């Protein structure tokens, strides 16, 4: 039997498990149409809200690059540098809901078999704010969105009742998820922030509220480096910077650590993995930990804005991987390494006689106390 890329995730059928995540690649109708033409199985729209949005003056996203064979890291591009991460302080979509609504309908008409997920965000500090979530949910699903992704994770919202500020609060996550589930006719995904002590706590809040899937990671809170020549932050307005979000290769291992916690705590839950994916080998990590879909942002931004080469290699490399190993589909290898992440005390130690650690280890100075 030929291997298939198709997957069912949160009750929805995807032609392949690769989605463009909510970000600049998914902020226009033409980009989303191009993304589907290029082969992405799903697209999550840039987050839609009801509050007016005004972004900072100047660039909203830049890329940090590393110099091979040197410790140099900088946003200034020089030949031969390799991507380290993306950094952004962009807010949610500055386009209003009535701009998005007809576009969601048109995109779905053009690509009825592809999955279009509407990312939405409102506050949680009042009944009116909670009703905003419902207005956003109803409008997007009425226009044809196949699922809703709740943005509980934007790392740079000023409002205390929005984004990652509520994504750190289990009760608020539960309330928001439940409010949306009360009106939702389509699956509801909760996108959580990695900026929390134990992401399992917040995921439990989302599942208690009725979430059909949990999505992780959004970007990690961070600031840009200071240029040693100018003594200015590499991203600043009038000399001032602020906390923004780190994405791309640098966060792959960190996002995987969050995902390992999630899939172990909820082995029957549905998870969409994001963070640092640029090729199938990266996505494979998330699948082996138990994810049913993955999402991509930074790598797509750097590949003609919507990642045509990225999606072509993700799908062809996944097919080649499955054919080589005789797998018929993702379910044959999903979660295969989930239980191999254990507490450190369970990792085998060498036999006592073979152990030459501590003060005996080569390179450690003998302490004065040991000499006597």
Ligand X SMILES: Cc1cc2nc3c(=O)[nH]c(=O)nc-3n(C[C@H](O)[C@H](O)[C@H](O)COP(=O)(O)O)c2cc1C
| Residue ranges that bind ligand X, judged by CB under 6 A | 21-24, 46-47, 61, 86, 88, 90, 92, 119, 151, 153-154, 191, 218-219, 247-248, 251, 274-277, 296-299
Residue of 140, 154, 291, 297 with catalytic role: 154
For 118, the 3-state DSSP assignment is strand
| CB 92, CB 22: distance < 8 Å | no
Report in angstroms how near the CB of residue 118 gets to ligand X at its nearest.
11
DSSP state of 25: G
CA distances from 350 to 96, 273, 339, 360, 372 (A): 61, 35, 22, 15, 29
How many of the other CB atoms lie within 10 Å of CB of 217? 28
Which segments within 36-154 are labelled E, that is strand? 42-44, 61-66, 73-74, 82-88, 115-120, 147-152
Point out the residue whose Cβ comes nearest to ligand X: 247
Report in angstroms how near the CB of residue 192 gets to ligand X at its nearest.
10
Residue 150 is encoded by which pair of tokens? 């709740």
Strands 271-274 and 293-296: what pairing?
parallel
Identity of the residue, 53 or 319, whose beta carbon is nearer to ligand X in the bound complex:
53
Report in angstroms how near the CB of residue 77 gets to ligand X at its nearest.
17
Report in angstroms how near the CB of residue 74 gets to ligand X at its nearest.
18
| CB 260, CB 342: distance < 8 Å | no
Identity of the residue, 64 or 107, whose beta carbon is nearer to ligand X in the bound complex:
64
- Cβ-in-10-Å burial (0-12, 13-18, 19+) of 160 comes to exposed
- How far, in Å, CA of 277 to CA of 283, rounded? 6
> If we measure between CA atoms, which residue out of 147, 145, 165 comes closest to residue 155?
165
Identity of the residue, 24 or 187, whose beta carbon is nearer to ligand X in the bound complex:
24
Find the distance separating the first CA and the last CA of the chain, reported in whole Å: 72
| CB 92, CB 332: distance < 8 Å | no
Q: Does the active-site annotation cover 291?
A: no
Report in angstroms how near the CB of residue 90 gets to ligand X at its nearest.
4
Report in angstroms how near the CB of residue 279 gets to ligand X at its nearest.
12
Which residues carry out catalysis?
A: 154
């Amino acid at each position: 039997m030929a291997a298939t890329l198709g997957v069912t995730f949160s009750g929805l059928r995807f032609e392949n498990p690769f989605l463009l995540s909510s970000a600049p690649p998914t902020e226009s109708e033409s980009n989303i149409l191009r993304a589907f033409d290029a082969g992405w199985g799903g697209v999550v729209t840039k987050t839609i809200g009801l509050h007016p949005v005004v972004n900072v003056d100047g660039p909203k996203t830049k890329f940090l690059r590393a110099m091979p064979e040197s410790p140099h890291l900088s946003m200034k591009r020089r030949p031969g540098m390799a991507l380290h991460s993306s950094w952004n302080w962009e807010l949610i979509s500055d386009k209003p809901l009535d701009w998005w609504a007809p576009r969601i309908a048109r995109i779905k008409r053009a690509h009825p078999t592809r999955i279009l997920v509407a990312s939405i965000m409102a506050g949680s500090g009042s009944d009116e704010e909670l009703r905003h979530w419902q207005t956003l949910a109803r409008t997007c699903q009425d226009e044809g969105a196949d699922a809703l992704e709740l943005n509980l994770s934007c790392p740079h919202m000023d409002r205390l009742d929005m984004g990652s500020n509520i994504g750190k609060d289990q009760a608020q996550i539960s309330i928001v998820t439940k409010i949306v589930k009360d009106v939702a006719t389509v699956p509801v995904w909760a996108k959580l922030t990695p900026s929390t002590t134990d992401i399992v706590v917040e995921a439990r809040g989302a599942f208690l509220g009725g979430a059909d899937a949990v999505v992780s990671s959004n970007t990690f809170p961070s600031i840009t480096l200071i240029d040693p020549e100018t003594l200015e932050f590499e991203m600043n307005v009038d000399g001032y910077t602020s906390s923004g979000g780190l994405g791309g290769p640098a966060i792959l291992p960190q996002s995987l650590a969050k995902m390992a916690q999630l899939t172990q705590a909820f082995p029957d839950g549905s998870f969409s993995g994001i963070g640092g994916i640029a090729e199938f080998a990266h996505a494979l990590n998330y699948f082996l930990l138990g994810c049913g879909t993955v999402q991509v942002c930074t790598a797509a931004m750097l590949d003609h804005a919507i990642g045509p080469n990225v999606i072509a290699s993700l799908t062809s490399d996944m097919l080649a991987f499955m054919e080589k190993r005789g797998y018929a589909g993702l379910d044959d290898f999903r979660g295969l390494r989930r239980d191999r992440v254990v507490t450190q005390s369970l990792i085998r130690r060498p036999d006592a006689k073979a152990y030459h650690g501590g003060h005996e280890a080569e390179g450690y100075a003998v302490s004065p106390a040991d000499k006597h």
